[in-house]
Structure 1
Amino acid sequence: MLIQFKSFSIPKVTQLEAISERLETEKTFDSNFISASLENDKLYFGIPVAMLNQPMLLVNHFDGLSIEFKNIVWKIHDNRIFLESSSTVQSSSGVIIPVEKDQPLSQKIISIFPILKEKRTDQNIWINATDLFTDHTIAKWNLFSELRALKEHSRITDVKYLPNEIIVRTLQVSSENGETWSSSVDFSVYLLPKPMTPRLFDHRMGFGSEDQSSSSTINYKPESPLANITRWRLEKKDSDLPMSEPIKPITFFLPMDIPKKWTPYVKAGILEWLPAFEAAGFKNALVVKEVSHGDSDLHFNSVNSSMVRWGDQRDVRGFEDAEGGTVMTIVDLRSGEILKSDLFIGASYLSLMDRYFVSCAPLDDRTLHYPFPDELTGALIQSLVAHEAGHAFGLRDGHYGEYAYPFEKMRDAEWLKTMGHTPSIMTYARNNNLPQPTDHIPASLLLQKVGPTDLYSIRWAYTPYDDTTPDVEGTALEAMVREQDSVAWYRYNIPVYEQIGPGSTNEVVENNDPIKSTVLGLANLKRVIELLPIVNQNQKDYALIERLYGQILTYWYKQMEHVMSLIGGYQIQYKCPSQLGGVYTPIPRIVQEEAMTFLIKHAFSAPEWLVNPSFSDTFKYSTYRDQLMEYQKLVLFELISQRRMKRFGRMEFHTDYKGISHQMLTTLQSGLFAELNTPIPKVNSRKQEIQRIYIDALMEAISQKGGTLNAVGNTMYDGRSKSLFMNNLVILKKELTKQVKKKMDPETSGHLKLLLHQMDGIH
């Protein structure tokens, strides 16, 4: 889930007098759950005796895009009702989950309510619950932590009743820095169901744990601590059938603010997952309903309703480039059951079109009409929705089966039709930019879609084992995981702060030959450059061509990163101790050598069509800002980074990789200073900059002082790396001293002298 949303303020309240007007109405709900009575501006709760000590959720839906919830119970003490919030929850996985990390008590009292004797009945104990929802300092919601509540101006505007949920709609008035703000905020009190049968977390599969906040122990480490995965409660109507409809399907509602022309694509994006649930034994497991004016019983901010939220910023100036989407989920921490998943689709049409144009314009003539035809834009929306739907089912962003698909299949229409160009829609492989125009691949096969690894993941998480023992279930699930031994594209690995290898890059079509892939990608990128003047010809200015050129440079860097991931890189397959072989296997040495040679040629000697395209004088008048140079610097810094050098050091424990650190640095330096091997050196201005940066980087690395021993995130260069850098600089200085005596053009001569001046301290 990559998300880059900007935000803007809720309109300031100018008439507090209007806000302070009270709702003159009465609304009463009676049920076996909590009864509610809204009388003028007061909200009364009638709590059945049977509901005391029952686990519930108190939910703050805020604006629908942020959700916060607390596990609560109602308790009676003498003539008072205590609303208590648990700081820990007992998980059925066998551990206690801390909910409030800084709260040492097992139960925290949120509020104490006097019992209203005049309203009390044999069945219900009545309290005045108004302040719980109008004074957000009582529950201490993090969502309001920055604001000061103006309780006297906030009010309850409506109450909605469902059999297991009370929904309270409020108008919240808050202030900050002398400004006053209003917002419509909904709250829920929700009765938790009986915990479902859990499925234990396994780090080899791409599902999140019930405790979303435990990122340090579960989400970003290849470990399998005791935890449950997050998933929906799917139960067969007929457990004897291999394929059965569920008792309660997973249902999403499409609100009316989604433009009608996009509704079919949003729906199709969710329903792309139907075959995955069929693989788990469920027919018609997904239902998508369009909300109409007649759906009076449907409330958007309800734990009982999962919505597709469209976002309303696309037409706001400054938000034209909003990207991605996200999912807001409410989970029963006791079992990992997903109770609600709201999909937020906030990407602008512009961002979807730009990304597709940069990757696929030479392969799809529809891109030459900017903005795109609705048919193409709708297909891009469908792909985005399908990705977010995967999150709604419990799957995480990650690397699924990357560096596993055969390179030659990326241009095979039959393969693409059945397998796609990436095994999972949960990767950031994006669109397929590898086919060449002469391959005549249908445009529909260029888009990312739900793939075979997604079917595999859902099969593992949702296949029911109701009539078996835990041991039998565990054996069956382990057998599914072991399918990764023979089917490489089923493998999952976690996104981390470094690219460990070619299975952990983004924004590129991952397959088993990144070098050949990048050759094809660059060929298409050159074609995209040539198309820019054509697509811009009907515009009023050159803003489109400038924006797309900038994104082309970013995409070029991602291609270079793809190749660079081979250097000092590993293949990754997470395993348990009973599986043979290591988790991290070094990329073959010869492949790493080829990758370095490729980068020297393509990254540090960028072609003229990329450096200075024919149209560049339509928006550039200076070499500042040189975005391409910034990316070239990044490639250089990454090649000699602390983490890569330490990965080289680890590889040298293997006999076949002895001396690889020295070899790679020598090859890099020889390539960067190849002009020194010519009879009369001549270094162009761009290469001069790269050479100066290289020397500066090595000098800085050598002078780097040691950091805190074993500090988290410690990326200091070790002594071994510094020694290799020093050796390279000494060799380079000797060569420069020899070359500078030659007669050459003044610019190159001055450049070589400047390099020697940089290395004054090197002997």
Structure 2
Amino acid sequence: MRKWIVWYVILLLILSCALPVEAIARKKKKVQVEKKELSKYDKLFQGKHVTSSAGEFVTLHRVNGKVYMEYPLKYMGREILLASTITTSTNGLVCTNGYKENKPMHLRVTADSSALFFHQVNALMNVDITKEKLLEVKQQNFEDPKWMRYDILTYSPDSSSVVIDMTNLFMDSEKALSPLPTKHRGLEIQATMNEELSSILEVKAFKDNASVKSQLVYRYSLLNQNSYKVIDNQPLTLVATRTLLLLPENKMKPRRSDLRLGTFLTSKREFTEKGEMLRYTYANRWDLQPRDIEAYRRGELVEPIKPIVFYLDTLFPASWMQPIRDGISRWNQAFEKIGFKNVVLVRDFPSDDPDFDPDNLKYSCIRYIPQATENAMGPSWVDPETGEILNASVFVYNNVIDMLRDWRFVQTAQVDESVRGKELPESVFNESLAYVIAHEIGHCLGLMHNMAASHAYPVDSLRSVSFTRTYGTTPSIMDYARFNYVAQTGDKGVRLTPPNLGVYDEFAIRWLYTPIYNASPEEEDRILEQWIDEKAGDPRYRFGRQQILSRYDPSAIEEDLGDDAVKSSEYGIQNLKYILSNLESWIKDDEDFTCRQKLYQQILVQYYRYIRNVIYNIGGIYLSDAKEESGIKRVAPVEKALQKASMRWIMTQLHDMAWLNERNLLKKITLSSLPSLDLTKAIGDVLANSYWKVALASMWSDDPYTLSDYFDDLYWGVWDSAITGRRLTREDQVLHQVFLKQMEENVRAIGGNPLWLFGNDQKIDMQKVYAPLEYDLCAYGLESGSENVFTRNFGFGYGWQPMVNTKMIHDTPVYYLEHLRRVRELLETKMDSFPSAEKDYYEMILYAVKQILGKQSRTK
């Protein structure tokens, strides 16, 4: 009995010990079952290689080759800009690092329960936001279209943001964001991206923006106009930086433009309660506000809240850095005159700031471009709602140094001994480079080219020491006035450069950036309008838009000086003759003749500019934007006497071009035809196609230079050798051929089409008479293949004078027919008087004339 009790007690003890152990086991098992599962957010990143960057705007994650973005709900409805910039490339000749090939996209973000949407903002349409009905009309008719959809993958842990996969946007899937150019020196670029070799490299997020860098791998081909592959299936790798920039909620107050002042523009349309559709533009400008308004109103110099900072590329040659800084900073002179100090600042690319990125849309930079382009440019990007400039950069190409050397040599070597060499002296180069940079910074501040500026100064004033030291060569450095080619060999002490800033430049800054307080938008418009009214009639403040395709106004062209093209060109040609006669002796250490050949070519180009500047007088029409009350004519043909004088001067030049054929030099350089022949052909083509301008100008003139006058002057000029018995030259023969071809085409149009005035099969291509010649592209810096060359409304918003169809207002073939009959009669009358060495040629011309006249009654 006792044993049983003992065993019972032992069993109870064992059970009492076993029960807690089992309970503990059950408890542990229960804990494992109730373990919390990973959230959708955590699952996106679990077990993956993640690089994250968080900013106040968005957070970015690079996850196994993908880009996830956390977009805050509080920014729904806000506007952003999305830009794409080339950062590096394996072919710097095709790609321009730092450049944005496409305009930044203007977007707005919305979301529903399952997706986030990017809308393209319809910033063109404006309404009065205080009018509820107008807002409703805009919402129904001009809503922002959806552009891209992204599924919401999850929410951030605090539910303040949605998470989306935006990888495709940064892998060149959208043409509007492609960093790759579509053109290269007139050739079409066709490219195919290799997605397997392309990748996401880096993500960064900041206060109001974020950037993603992608390596994009392509195969590309270059095609000419005939679709022939000049380069086929070549490799190209580039790194692109895409920036998302959050635009401010409190927008800059826009300033409406005035057509009489040359600013870049943001176009607007507005419908009113009256049913009107208004068209106007905002002037593009930076948002400059004084840091201390009261001090500013007291007339003290005040710093702006947000200065304009340009970051200077440290890859520039060291000797270029200071003149670039000088060119940038000189605009502070204009801002100080309106009460601001330290507005435009320049800083070197920082080496100790990991957040700095010159390809981020937040930074405006001066970039060094190692390409053999002789140029610089200064594009800018704006908030499309207001025209506020947010980013502006200057691109300075490597061969700008050659461009400056060429300019200074062919325009000033007659009076400046220091530029008579292969390289410019440091002081001259610095002075010239600073001018180029200042011109481009003017663009970055919102100023367009003003091609009428240099026409304000009398030609002979440019030979005056006192005048040029005070005013330089032009009232605006935004003109293409260049250097003082009017100054003659004895004009010592004359200033040879444009001013640091012209009076027009300072006035434009005043108009753009002077704050106007306590005024409604309508009152501000009237104040600004009055400022320009006060300058009306003063040629120094006249704005002349750049002409590209259709060139009518001879007072608003590039590469000219002074108010009289004949006189200034005469001075320029005298200088060219002096320079050319000394070219061989001035240029030393040029064993392969490379430098002398280049300078010789520039002399020929400069000569062509002088001739072309005078040709623009023939059929020229001065065009001005002016109020009726100003008394300034908006359309004013060039005076008849000036057109006739211009024609006589050009014909004199055509008969005296043999001096251009520097035979000793020509024997040492690349084999070519005689320059005088090439130029005779080019100038002859321009003259032969000037009939349409003469017809148009004569229609608007009270005392017109008529087509009859034009053809009469051509007759006496082109056939001068036969009329006067002067010795026939090869240049004469080229000129004869140009006009015979032109007459043949016109006269054939009569014989082939009885209704030639209205016929669709007329042989003359009216488009071609407007298109610049190859010589124009070279002489005036119009890049071949550039879209700007064939843009009818150049200037984005101003709408420069478009082409006018002159078929309805001229009867050119009639005059060509009469011209041919005069030539036939001339040659038949004088054939026996021609020297025997020339008689065969004139008999050939007579035969050709008779053949052309014989076609007038034929049908095709």
| Cross-structure match for 1:168 | 212
Question: Is the CA contact 1:234–1:249 (under 8 Å) kept in the aligned structure 2?
Answer: yes
Q: Is 2:446 the counterpart of 1:394?
A: yes
| Cross-structure match for 2:385 | 334
Name the SS for the 2:382 alignment partner. Answer: strand
Shift of 1:482: 2.0
* CA displacement 1:68-124 (0-9 Å, x = unmatched): 321223322213323333365545899x9xxxxxx998322323133325x442322
Q: Identify which of 353, 371, 393 aligns with 2:405.
A: 353
* CA displacement 1:56-75 (0-9 Å, x = unmatched): 11211234212432122332
Change (3 A) 1:762 1:127: closer
Q: How many residues align?
A: 706
* CA displacement 1:172-196 (0-9 Å, x = unmatched): 2234475553211101111001321
2-side partners of 1:522 and 1:363: how far apart?
14
The range that moved more, 668-677 or 486-495, is 668-677
Question: Is the CA contact 2:393–2:444 (under 8 Å) kept in the aligned structure 1?
Answer: yes
Once superposed, what is the RMSD of the aligned Cα atoms?
A: 3.0
2-side partners of 1:543 and 1:93: how far apart?
63
| Cross-structure match for 1:741 | 832
Shift of 1:342: 1.1
Q: Is 2:251 the counterpart of 1:227?
A: no
Shift of 1:352: 2.2
Shift of 1:714: 4.6
Question: Is the CA contact 2:55–2:206 (under 8 Å) kept in the aligned structure 1?
Answer: no
Question: Is the CA contact 2:379–2:393 (under 8 Å) kept in the aligned structure 1?
Answer: yes
| Cross-structure match for 2:492 | 440
Name the SS for the 2:455 alignment partner. Answer: coil
Name the SS for the 1:268 alignment partner. Answer: helix
Aligned-residue identity in percent: 22
Q: Identify which of 719, 724, 731 aligns with 1:673.
A: 719
| Cross-structure match for 1:750 | 840
| Cross-structure match for 2:251 | 195
| Aligned positions of 1:396-475 closer than 5 A | 396-441=448-493, 445-447=496-498, 449-475=500-526
1-side partners of 2:759 and 2:524: how far apart?
48
Shift of 1:558: 0.5
Q: Is 2:676 the counterpart of 1:628?
A: yes
* CA displacement 1:343-377 (0-9 Å, x = unmatched): 11115022221222111112222222312233322
| Cross-structure match for 1:107 | 145
| Cross-structure match for 2:262 | 206
Change (3 A) 1:460 1:747: farther
Name the SS for the 2:413 alignment partner. Answer: helix
User: What is the one-letter code of the residue matched to 2:683?
Assistant: V
Q: Identify which of 719, 723, 747 aligns with 1:702.
A: 747
Shift of 1:228: 1.1
Any stretches of 5+ residues in structure 2 without a counterpart? 1-47, 88-97, 135-140, 183-189, 222-232, 270-277, 750-755, 768-802, 855-860
Shift of 1:257: 0.8
2-side partners of 1:689 and 1:513: how far apart?
29
1-side partners of 2:303 and 2:594: how far apart?
52
| Cross-structure match for 1:185 | 240
User: What is the one-letter code of the residue matched to 2:415?
Assistant: L
| Cross-structure match for 1:77 | 112
2-side partners of 1:608 and 1:42: how far apart?
68
Question: Is the CA contact 1:398–1:492 (under 8 Å) kept in the aligned structure 2?
Answer: yes
* CA displacement 1:659-678 (0-9 Å, x = unmatched): 63322321231122223344
User: What is the one-letter code of the residue matched to 1:171?
Assistant: Q
Question: Is the CA contact 1:575–1:583 (under 8 Å) kept in the aligned structure 2?
Answer: yes
2-side partners of 1:365 and 1:650: how far apart?
44
Change (3 A) 1:189 1:697: same
2-side partners of 1:753 and 1:426: how far apart?
53
Change (3 A) 1:533 1:565: same
Q: Identify which of 786, 791, 816 aligns with 1:725.
A: 816
Any stretches of 5+ residues in structure 1 without a counterpart? 1-23, 97-102, 215-223, 314-318
2-side partners of 1:269 and 1:463: how far apart?
22
* CA displacement 1:133-164 (0-9 Å, x = unmatched): 2x321575354584333334322222233211
Q: Is 2:599 the counterpart of 1:565?
A: no
Name the SS for the 1:377 alignment partner. Answer: helix
2-side partners of 1:418 and 1:748: how far apart?
56
Question: Is the CA contact 1:110–1:138 (under 8 Å) kept in the aligned structure 2?
Answer: no
User: What is the one-letter code of the residue matched to 1:563?
Assistant: V
Change (3 A) 1:653 1:610: same
Q: Is 2:191 the counterpart of 1:147?
A: yes
| Cross-structure match for 2:341 | 283
Name the SS for the 1:395 alignment partner. Answer: coil
The range that moved more, 333-342 or 292-301, is 292-301
Larger Rg: 2
* CA displacement 1:631-671 (0-9 Å, x = unmatched): 222322322325x44444542554422x6332232123112
Shift of 1:559: 0.4
Name the SS for the 1:438 alignment partner. Answer: coil
Name the SS for the 2:253 alignment partner. Answer: coil
Question: Is the CA contact 2:150–2:164 (under 8 Å) kept in the aligned structure 1?
Answer: no
Shift of 1:699: 2.6
| Cross-structure match for 2:52 | 28
| Aligned positions of 1:516-527 closer than 5 A | 516-527=567-578
Change (3 A) 1:377 1:731: same
1-side partners of 2:419 and 2:285: how far apart?
38
| Cross-structure match for 1:131 | 168
TM-score, normalising length from structure 2?
A: 0.77
User: What is the one-letter code of the residue matched to 1:498?
Assistant: S
Change (3 A) 1:373 1:402: closer
Change (3 A) 1:471 1:85: closer
Question: Is the CA contact 1:423–1:451 (under 8 Å) kept in the aligned structure 2?
Answer: yes
Shift of 1:613: 4.9
| Aligned positions of 1:532-543 closer than 5 A | 532-543=583-594
Shift of 1:553: 1.0
Question: Is the CA contact 1:368–1:534 (under 8 Å) kept in the aligned structure 2?
Answer: no
1-side partners of 2:58 and 2:717: how far apart?
74
| Cross-structure match for 1:300 | 358
| Cross-structure match for 1:159 | 203
1-side partners of 2:485 and 2:723: how far apart?
37
User: What is the one-letter code of the residue matched to 1:85?
Assistant: Q
User: What is the one-letter code of the residue matched to 1:381?
Assistant: L
2-side partners of 1:337 and 1:312: how far apart?
31
Question: Is the CA contact 1:210–1:229 (under 8 Å) kept in the aligned structure 2?
Answer: yes
Change (3 A) 1:528 1:280: same
1-side partners of 2:105 and 2:731: how far apart?
57
Question: Is the CA contact 1:210–1:335 (under 8 Å) kept in the aligned structure 2?
Answer: yes
| Cross-structure match for 1:14 | none
| Cross-structure match for 2:67 | 43
Change (3 A) 1:398 1:572: same
2-side partners of 1:708 and 1:202: how far apart?
40
Shift of 1:391: 1.1
Shift of 1:718: 5.4
1-side partners of 2:631 and 2:639: how far apart?
19
Name the SS for the 1:32 alignment partner. Answer: coil
Q: Identify which of 521, 526, 531 aligns with 2:582.
A: 531
Question: Is the CA contact 1:573–1:583 (under 8 Å) kept in the aligned structure 2?
Answer: yes
Question: Is the CA contact 1:707–1:716 (under 8 Å) kept in the aligned structure 2?
Answer: no
